[in-house]
Amino acid sequence: MNMEKVLSSAISRAGEITRTGEVASYIPELAKFDGGSLAVAYCDMEGNLVSAGDMEMLFSIQSISKIISLALALETLGLECVLSKVGNMPTSDPFNSIFRLELSSSHKPLNPLINAGAIAVISMLSHETPSGRFDKVIELTGKLTGRVDIDYNRNIYLSEKKSGQRNRALAFFLSSVDVLEGDPSAVLDDYFKQCSIECTTIDLAVMGATLAAGGVNPVSGEQVLSESTCAFVRSLMMICGLYEGSGDFAIRVGFPGKSGVGGGIVGAVPDKMGIATYGPSLDQFGNSVGGTAIMEDISRQMQLRVL
Ligand code: GLU
């Protein structure tokens, strides 16, 4: 089987359905991306990379960054401490929903992969100085992806900051009930920066492979995370990595994934491979339409289902 051809054909087949989605515009800078763009890459456990489409294009990882700050919190603070501030439950509410936070008696966000949960998790890293906190997130992103010049996009960060009233509401509410630690404005700044970190589809495939391999980056050979952190992160990706689309993704694709409104999806097939897609046209839940179709196609052809 010529794998490059398999990936290119999956991209061609996804072309039509991609056009049914829409590029995110609530963060104005994201609206500038080409809704027809598509890419896919995978990285196996030996570090072999295969890719097709716009695989070298940089885009902001958005919510995919939530698994990175979660992994950092798990490694530095431990599972018990993380679960004292966020739950491990799926939710059928939108990623930026606020209402359940007030209704629940603990006021804890349901999981670390919705905005409220991710904001709470970053705040937990406040034993670092505010600037050190983001430095640690970007340093870990570099190790997970193997990208040496990893950085965030200033224009997207400023656009997020300007349009981020909903996230501000979440952070200040969480601060009022003592779930968020430290200064909410400084925490939000780091959240906006981590969402604006730029990667290519290939970078995300390597990151997925690192999570699939129990924390060893198969390209660099470095043990970046512990096996237990990877297992927890992969489980959460499976139950809530694509918001209200998580059940649909589990049924259609069959392995853990995490999406971002920048159009990326990262998948981790335990002990087999990392796989990533890019396609900025999104469905109503904020997940890439073309990316999901490509993941489903490749999963079927390469028999990647874990369920
Ligand atoms: N920066 C985005 C937000 O806070 C992330 C959402 C996502 O990628 O799902 O709205």
Assign 131 a pLDDT band (cuts: 50, 70, 90): low
CA of 95 to the centre of ligand 1 (A): 7
Q: Name the residue at shortest CA distance from atom 2 of ligand 1.
A: 62
For residue 70, give Cα distances in angstroms to 74, 121, 146, 232.
6, 6, 19, 10
CA dist list (Å): 305 to 45, 50, 248, 251: 16, 19, 14, 9
| Contact between residue 265 and residue 258 where contact means Cβ atoms under 8 Å apart | yes
Contact 255, 269 (CB under 8 A): yes
Joined together, the tokens standing for residue 164 give: 């981020």
Domain locations in the chain as residue ranges: 3-62+199-302, 63-195
Cα 247 to middle of ligand 1, angstroms: 19
pLDDT at 130 over 70: no
Phi, psi of 91 (to 5 degrees): -145, 150
Tens digit of pLDDT for each residue in 139-155? Answer: 999 999 999 999 999 99
pLDDT reported for residue 302 = 96
Do residues 197 and 152 lie in contact, with contact meaning Cβ atoms separated by under 8 Å? yes
Q: What is the pLDDT of residues 171-185, one digit of tens each?
A: 999 999 999 999 999
State the pLDDT at residue 158: 98
Q: For the domain 63-195, what is the CATH code?
A: 3.40.710.10
- Distance (Å, rounded) from C-alpha 197 to C-alpha 159? 13
The finding on whether 159 has its CB within 6 A of some atom of ligand 1 is: no
Tell me the CA end-to-end span of the chain in Å, nearest whole number.
24
Q: Which CATH number fits domain 3-62+199-302: 3.30.10.20, 3.30.565.10, 3.40.710.10, 3.10.450.50?
A: 3.40.710.10
Least Cα distance to 161 among 130, 131, 196 occurs for: 196
Residue 307 is predicted with a pLDDT of: 80
Examine domains 3-62+199-302 and 63-195 and report if their fold is the same.
yes
With a 6 Å cutoff on the Cβ, whether 119 touches ligand 1 is no
Task: For a ligand 1 pocket test, name from 23, 26, 27 the mutation site with the most ligand atoms within 8 angstroms of its C-beta.
Answer: 27
Q: How far is the CA of 2 from the centre of ligand 1 (A)?
A: 36
